[in-house]
Amino acid sequence: MRKGEAADPTRQAPSSTPGIQAAVFKEVSRAVTRVHEEEGVKLPPDALSDELTRAYNALLERAEDAGDRDELLSLVPWLEARLRKRLREARAAPGDGKRRA
pLDDT in tens, 5-32: 555 555 555 555 568 999 999 999 999 9
pLDDT in tens, 49-80: 999 999 999 999 999 999 999 999 999 999 99
Tally of CB atoms within 10 A around 32: 21
Give the distance from CA 83 to its chain's centroid. Answer: 12
Please state, in angstroms and rounded to a whole number, the distance separating the CA atoms of residues 65 and 62. 9
Query: Given a cut of 70, is residue 39 above it in pLDDT?
Result: yes
Higher pLDDT among residues 8 and 44, named by residue: 44
